[in-house]
Structure 1
Amino acid sequence: MRKRFAVWIAGWLLLVLSIPQNVFGVSFPQNGSEKTKVACVGNSVTRGYGLLFPEKDSYPAQLQELLGQGFEVENFGHSGATLLSKGHRPYIETLEYSEALKFEADIVVIHLGLNDTDPRNWPNFRDEFIRDYMQLVESFRKNNNPEIYICRMSPIFHGHPRFKSGTRDWFWQIQDAIEQVAQNSKTGLIDLHEPLYSRPDLFADALHPNLEGAGIIAQTVYENITGDFGGLRLAQVFMNHMVLQQNSPHVFFGKANAGETVTATFNGEVQTCVANASGDWKLTFRPAPAGGLYQLEVSAGKNQTILLDDILVGEVWICAGQSNMEFELKHAASASAVVSAASDENLRLLNKKGIVRPDNTKWDSTVLEKVNRLHFFEGEWKKSTPDAAAEFSAIGYSFGKMLRENLDVPVGLIQISVGGAPVEAFIDRKTLEFDPHLVDVLNNWKHNDFIQDWCRQRAATNLELTENKQQRHPFEPAYIYEAGVQSLAGFPVAGVIFYQGESNAHNAAHYQNAFPALVQSWRTAFNQPEMPFYFAQLSSINRPSWPYFRDVQRQLAQSIPNTEMVVTSDLGDSLDVHPRQKIEVGERFANIALSNIYNVEGFAEGGPELNSVIQKNGKVILTFLNAGRIETSDDEPVRELEVAGRDGLFSNVKAEIQGNQILINSKDMAVKSIRYGWKPFSRGNLVNENGWPVSTFRVDVPYQLKKYNYENH
Structure 2
Amino acid sequence: MKRNFFKKMILVLALFVLSSNVVTATVLLPSFFTDNMVLQQKSAVPFWGESDGKSVTITTSWDKKSYTKNVTNGKWNVVLKTPVYGGPYTITIHDGTIKTLNNILIGEVWLCSGQSNMEMPLEGWGKINNYKEEIENANYPQIRLLQAEHIESTLPLNTLTVQHDGWNVCSRKTVADFSATAYFFARKIYNEKKIPIGLIHSSWGGTLIEAWTSSGALTTIHDFDTEIQAMKSETDGAALLQKYNADLADWEMKVIGSDKGFETGKAIWATPNFDDTSWKTMKLPSFFDSNGLGNFDGVVWFRKKVTLSESIIKKDLSISYLADDDDMIWVNGNYIGETKGYNVERHYTIPSKFLNKGENTITIRVFDGSGNGGIYGDENFALKSEKETISLAGNWKYSIGIDSKDLPAKPYLAQGQNRPSAIYNAMIAPLLDYKIKGVIWYQGESNAERAYQYQKLFPLLINDWRGKFKDKNLPFFFVQLANYKQKKEQPTASDWAELREAQFLTLKLPNTGMAVTTDIGNGEDIHPKNKQDVGGRLANIALAKVYNTKIEYSGPLYKSYKIERNIATLDFDFKENIKAKNGELKGFSIAGSDQKFYWAEAKIVNGKVEVYAQEVPNPVAVRYNWADNPDGNLTNASDLPASSFRTDVWAGITQEKK
- TM-score class, shorter-chain normalisation, is 0.5 to 0.7
Q: Does 1:663 align with 2:610?
A: yes
Deviates more, 1:610-619 or 1:335-344: 610-619
Distance 1:400 1:460 in 2: 32
Native 8 Å contact 2:520 2:530 kept in 1? yes
Summarize the Cα distance change of 1:461–1:430 in structure 2 as closer, same or farther, 3 Å threshold: farther
Candidates 519, 528, 540, aligned match of 1:579: 528
1:399 to 185, 195, 198: 185
Relative to 1, partners in 2 of residues 1:313 and 1:650: Cα closer, same or farther, differing over 3 Å? Answer: same
What is the total number of aligned residue pairs between the two structures?
454
CA distance in 2, matches of 1:556, 1:584: 22
Determine which of 130, 143, 157 is the counterpart of 1:334. 130
- Which residues of structure 1 form unaligned runs of 5+? 1-9, 16-227, 356-366, 463-469, 703-713
Q: Which residue of 1 aligns with 2:199?
A: 413
CA distance in 2, matches of 1:374, 1:434: 26
Structure 1 counterpart of 2:37, one-letter code: M
Give the whole-Å Cα distance in 1 for the aligned partners of 2:588 and 2:85. Answer: 48
| 2:139 corresponds to 1:343 | yes
Instruction: Spell out the pairing of 1:256-295 with structure 2 (5 A cutoff).
Output: 256-257=51-52, 260-275=55-70, 277-295=72-90
**Contact 2:30-2:160 at 8 Å conserved across structures:** no
**Structure 1 313/659 Cα, relative in aligned 2: closer, same or farther at 3 Å?**
farther
Residue 432 of structure 1 corresponds to which residue in structure 2? Answer: 218
Unaligned runs of 5+ in 2: 1-17, 231-236, 248-296, 299-323, 327-339, 346-412, 487-493, 651-658
Question: Is 1:626 paired with 2:574?
Answer: yes
Per the alignment, do residues 670 and 686 of structure 1 end up closer, same or farther by CA in structure 2, a change over 3 Å counting? same
What is the distance in 2 between the residues matched to 1:632 and 1:461?
Answer: 45
1:561 alignment partner AA: P
How far, CA to CA, are the matches of 2:502 and 2:645 in structure 1? 9
Alpha carbons of structure 1 residues 550 and 471: separation in structure 2 relative to 1, 3 Å: closer
Q: Which amino acid aligns with 2:145?
A: L
What CA distance in whole angstroms lies between the structure 2 residues aligned with 1:377 and 1:523?
23
Q: How does 1:84-483 map to 2 (within 5 A)?
A: 232-257=27-52, 260-275=55-70, 277-300=72-95, 302-303=96-97, 305-330=98-123, 331-354=127-150, 377-379=162-164, 380-442=166-228, 443=230, 447=244, 473-483=416-426
Instruction: Give the whole-Å Cα distance in 2 for the aligned partners of 1:620 and 1:351.
Output: 49
Partner of 2:403: none
DSSP 3-state at the match of 1:554 = helix
Partners of 1:542 and 1:680 in 2: how far apart?
A: 6
Q: Residues 651 and 617 from structure 1, CA distance in 2 versus in 1: closer, same or farther, beyond 3 angstroms?
A: closer
Q: Percent identity?
A: 30
Would the aligned equivalents of 1:377 and 1:484 in 2 still touch at CA under 8 Å? no
Question: Counterpart in 1 of 2:278?
Answer: none
| Superposed displacement of residue 694, structure 1 | 0.9
Match of 1:566 in 2: 515
- What per-residue deviation string (whole Å, max 9, x for no partner) do you get for residues 626-655 of structure 1? 1312222221x2222111122222112111
Question: Does 1:681 pair with 2:624?
Answer: no
Q: Distance in 1 between matches of 2:524 and 2:60?
A: 55
Deviations 1:416-442 (A, max 9, x none): 111111112211233234442343443
Matching residue's letter, 2:180: A
Following the alignment from structure 1 to structure 2, what is the Cα–Cα distance between the partners of residues 422 and 274?
41
TM-score using structure 2 length: 0.63
Alpha-carbon distance between aligned partners in 1 of 2:227 and 2:640, rounded to the nearest angstrom: 36
Q: Distance in 1 between matches of 2:540 and 2:102?
A: 32
Corresponding residue for residue 648 of structure 2: 700
Normalized per residue, the structure richer in helix is 1
**How far does residue 505 in structure 1 lie from its aligned partner after superposition?**
0.7
Q: Distance between the aligned counterparts of 2:607 and 2:542, measured in 1?
A: 23
Match of 1:170 in 2: none
CA pair 566-290 structure 1, distance change in 2 beyond 3 A: same
User: Whole-Å Cα distance in 1 between the matches of residues 446 and 649 of structure 2?
Assistant: 31
Matched residues in 2 for 1:660 and 1:337: separation? 42
For the residue of structure 2 that corresponds to 1:589, the secondary structure is: helix
SS at match of 1:415: strand
Q: Is the 8 A contact 2:579 2:634 kept in 1?
A: yes
Paired with 1:647 and 1:314, the residues of 2 have a C-alpha distance of 56
CA gap 1:297/1:258 in 2 versus in 1, 3 angstroms:
closer
Q: Displacement, 1:572?
A: 1.7
Distance in 1 separating the partners of 2:108 and 2:459 = 25
Tell me how far 1:533 sits from its aligned partner.
Answer: 0.8
Q: Secondary structure at the match of 1:507?
A: helix
How far did 1:266 drift?
Answer: 4.0
The amino acid across from 1:539 in the alignment is A
Superposition map of 1:55-74 within 5 A? none
Change (3 A) 1:324 1:645: same
Does the 8 A contact of 2:598 with 2:613 survive in 1?
Answer: no
Relative contact order higher in (CA < 8 Å, ≥ 6 apart):
2
Aligned equivalents of 1:460 and 1:486: distance in 2? 29
Q: For the structure 1 residues 436 and 455, does the alpha-carbon distance in structure 2 shift closer, same or farther, using more than 3 Å as the test?
A: farther
8 Å contact from structure 2 (residues 153, 426) kept in 1 = no
The equivalent of 2:268 in structure 1 is none
Equivalent AA in structure 1 for residue 175 of structure 2:
A
Matched, 1:519 2:519: no
Corresponding residue SS for 1:571: coil
Quick one: distance in 1 between partners of 2:342 and 2:421? 15
Question: Is contact 1:237–1:487 with CA below 8 Å preserved after alignment?
Answer: no
AA of the residue aligned to 2:85: A
1:429 partner amino acid: S
Aligned to 2:500: 550
CA RMSD of aligned residues (A): 3.7
